């Protein structure tokens, strides 16, 4: 309110002066005086509006270029000058921060690409240009999939599941292996981070090849040693107690070594990316009965083993690999459950997913060990594992088989009470009982029509 009175003071003065003129010189002079005064005021405001408009139309809105004003306009231009000063200060700070960010990202060993909500390139650093074959000046605004055309990358981008990185082996540069990770931020924008993992992958391949080669080379000599040990064990002429004991120990250790080599070879095969799984529809009822027979033979009547096949839905996957994974869990349950213990093996369907579980009333596992159980050679109790013929690789094999079948393993256990190992297969890996029957009938019909 005070502002309004202050800004209107000019008009008040004109009215007072006009009244004075009226009193001294009469009404006509007062009218002429007030008209001239008002015209002057209008001219004053129009002049300042024109100055303001000219300033607004200029491209450089600097503090120095703000016009000088008089009267009420002096305050207006002073406010404007303060605003322009603050604005240019924050612009300077912003561009400094941006420059700093760009120089930091340019110095980073990883490539960084900023993508908009439609996966178009907004900005990238020099490393990303080298990794992905981008020329920022030409490709800004271009869809990233025009430049990185590899199908796994296009699928990774479309799937919008960015928790794990993608390993890209076929890149524009011969022999370059990249790990690509998308990180969503802000509103639908993404950062694409590329990392050169060529050296790491080469080392991994060397490690895998070395283990596979050593295991392969050890296989033949071990078969020969085991063969001769078996012959010698059957030889009745070996009658000294020392020789008999030595033979027994040698046979035990050689068999253990052979199991270890076999497990290492299985792991190498599972790790080999070229070795794709042979998908087939597995008749779970029949597989479960085979597993029961193996379990009964291993337990030799020392445990009570129960088998439940709750669903007759079949499972899509490699029967050989899954039999080995399921067999490992059952053999562990037998080996880590004292005599007369209970073991229950189940195949069922829950919420559309396939569930295979093995429960035992055995020695159990402390919760601190559970996260590490699937590591190679990780054992809770070394001597018990060896005594019962364990290699320390069983659960590592299970983990690899499951990751090839999009399945996950859950372990619940209580020391002294027992353990529950549960494998969950996604719904896409289940073949409904009726569909499986239909497929079976079609196959049978085809076979009978082919036989003359
Ligand atoms: P191992 O050949 O030693 O059994 P695994 O990889 O199969 O190797 O298992 C790793 C470790 O997990 C075992 O050494 C054992 O300590 C523990 N373990 C696995 N299954 C069970 C079980 N059902 N009950 C108790 N401990 C178990």
Residue pair 283/312 in contact by the 8 Å Cβ criterion: no
Whose alpha carbon is nearest atom 10 of ligand 1? 379
Residue pair 165/179 in contact by the 8 Å Cβ criterion: yes
Q: CA neighbours within 13 Å on the CB side: how many for 60?
A: 4
Starting at the edge strand found earlier in the chain, the sheet holding 121-124 runs: 121-124, 111-115, 189-196, 178-185, 166-168
395 CB near ligand 1 (under 6 Å): yes
Tell me which H or E stretch contains 441. helix 433-450
363 CB near ligand 1 (under 6 Å): yes
Residue pair 21/28 in contact by the 8 Å Cβ criterion: no
Assigned token pair, 436: 């499986």
Chain segment 75-94, per-residue pLDDT in tens: 888 888 889 889 889 989 99
Cβ within 8 Å of residue 361, ≥6 positions away:
337, 341, 342, 343, 417, 418
69 CB near ligand 1 (under 6 Å): no
**108-196 matches 280-435 in fold:** no
Residue pair 347/284 in contact by the 8 Å Cβ criterion: yes
Q: Cα–Cα distance between 450 and 444 in angstroms, integer?
A: 10
Q: Cα–Cα distance between 384 and 123 in angstroms, integer?
A: 58
Ligand 1 centroid to Cα of residue 377, in Å, is 10
Domain boundaries of the chain, sorted by first residue:
2-92, 108-196, 203-271, 280-435
Ligand 1 centroid to Cα of residue 307, in Å, is 21
Ligand 1 centroid to Cα of residue 416, in Å, is 14
Per-residue DSSP letter, 451: -
> What is the structure's pLDDT at 403?
93
> What is the structure's pLDDT at 2?
53
Chain segment 101-115, per-residue pLDDT in tens: 878 887 888 999 999
Q: Cα–Cα distance between 270 and 76 in angstroms, integer?
A: 77
Ligand 1 centroid to Cα of residue 289, in Å, is 23
> Helices (H) and strands (E) in the chain — how many of each?
15, 13
357 CB near ligand 1 (under 6 Å): no
> What is the structure's pLDDT at 71?
80
Q: Which atom of ligand 1 is nearest to the CA of 374?
A: 6
Q: Cα–Cα distance between 319 and 219 in angstroms, integer?
A: 24
CA 399 remoteness from chain centre: 17
Question: Alpha helices, DSSP H only, in 58-111?
Answer: 72-107
> What is the structure's pLDDT at 55?
86
391 CB near ligand 1 (under 6 Å): yes
Ligand 1 centroid to Cα of residue 452, in Å, is 53
Whose alpha carbon is nearest atom 14 of ligand 1? 379
* CB contact burial 202-231 (16+ within 10 A = b; e otherwise): eeeeeeeeebbeebeebeeebeebbeebee
Q: Cα–Cα distance between 194 and 146 in angstroms, integer?
A: 17
Per-residue DSSP letter, 143: B
Helix-strand-coil split of the chain, %, nearest 5:
55, 15, 25
Q: Is the pTM of this model over 0.75?
A: no
* Residue of 259, 260, 336 with the most ligand 1 atoms within 8 Å of its CB, for mutation: 336
The dotted CATH code for 280-435 is 3.30.565.10
Q: Cα–Cα distance between 356 and 21 in angstroms, integer?
A: 108
Q: Cα–Cα distance between 337 and 343 in angstroms, integer?
A: 8
419 CB near ligand 1 (under 6 Å): yes
Cβ within 8 Å of residue 428, ≥6 positions away:
316, 406
Task: Tell me which residues of the chain have a pLDDT lower than 70.
Answer: 1-3, 63-64, 171, 433-434, 436-441, 443-444, 446-452
Q: Which atom of ligand 1 is nearest to the CA of 396?
A: 6
**How many residues belong to the chain?**
452
The architecture (CATH level 2) of 108-196 comes to 2-Layer Sandwich (3.30)
Q: Report the Cα–Cα distance between both ends of the chain, in Å, rounded.
A: 109
Chain segment 192-246, per-residue pLDDT in tens: 999 999 999 899 889 989 999 999 999 999 999 999 998 888 877 777 888 888 8
Q: Is 79 exposed, middle or buried (0-12, 13-18, 19+ CB in 10 A)?
A: exposed
| Strand positions, DSSP E, 125-177 | 166-168
Whose alpha carbon is nearest atom 4 of ligand 1? 390
Residue showing tokens 């082919």: 450
Rg (CA), the chain: 41
148 CB near ligand 1 (under 6 Å): no
SS3 320: helix
Residue showing tokens 């597993």: 291
């Amino acid at each position: 309110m005070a502002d309004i009175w202050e800004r209107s003071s000019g008009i008040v003065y004109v009215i007072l002066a006009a009244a004075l003129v009226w009193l001294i010189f009469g009404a006509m002079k007062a009218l002429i005086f007030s008209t001239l005064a008002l015209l002057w005021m209008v001219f004053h405001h129009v002049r300042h509006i024109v100055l303001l408009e000219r300033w607004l139309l200029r491209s450089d809105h600097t503090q120095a270029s703000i016009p000088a004003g008089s009267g009420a306009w002096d305050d207006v231009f002073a406010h404007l000058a303060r605003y322009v000063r603050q604005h240019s200060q924050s612009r300077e700070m912003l561009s400094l921060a941006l420059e700093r960010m760009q120089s930091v990202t340019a110095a980073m060993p990883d490539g960084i690409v900023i993508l908009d909500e439609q996966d178009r390139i907004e900005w990238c650093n020099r490393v990303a240009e080298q990794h992905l074959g981008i020329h920022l000046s030409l490709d800004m605004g271009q869809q990233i999939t025009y430049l990185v055309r590899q199908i796994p990358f296009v699928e990774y981008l479309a799937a919008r599941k960015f928790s794990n990185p993608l390993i890209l082996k076929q890149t524009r540069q011969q022999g370059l292996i990249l790990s690509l990770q998308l990180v969503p931020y802000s509103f639908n924008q993404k950062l694409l981070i590329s990392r050169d993992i060529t050296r790491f992958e080469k080392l991994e391949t060397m490690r895998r090849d070395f283990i596979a080669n050593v295991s392969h080379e050890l296989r033949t000599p071990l078969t020969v040693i085991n063969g001769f040990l078996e012959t010698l064990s059957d030889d009745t002429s070996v009658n000294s107690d020392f020789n008999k004991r030595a033979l027994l120990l040698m046979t035990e250790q050689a068999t253990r070594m052979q199991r270890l080599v076999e497990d290492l070879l299985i792991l190498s095969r599972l790790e080999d990316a070229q070795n794709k799984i042979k998908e087939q529809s597995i008749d779970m009822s029949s597989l479960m009965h085979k597993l029961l027979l193996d379990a009964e033979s291993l337990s030799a009547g020392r445990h009570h083993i129960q088998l439940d096949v709750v669903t007759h839905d079949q499972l899509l996957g490699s029967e050989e690999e899954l039999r080995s994974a399921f067999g490992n869990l059952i053999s562990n349950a037998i080996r880590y459950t004292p005599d007369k213990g209970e073991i229950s093996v189940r195949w069922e369907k829950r919420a559309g997913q396939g569930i295979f579980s093995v429960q035992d009333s055995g020695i159990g596992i402390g919760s601190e060990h559970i996260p590490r159980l699937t590591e190679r050679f990780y054992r809770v109790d070394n001597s018990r594992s060896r005594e019962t013929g364990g290699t320390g690789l069983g659960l590592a094999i299970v983990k690899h088989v499951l990751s090839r079948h999009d399945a996950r393993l859950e372990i619940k256990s209580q020391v002294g009470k027992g353990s529950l190992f549960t494998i969950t297969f996604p719904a896409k890996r289940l073949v409904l009982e009726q569909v499986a029957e239909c497929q079976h009938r079609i196959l049978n019909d085809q076979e009978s029509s082919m036989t003359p």
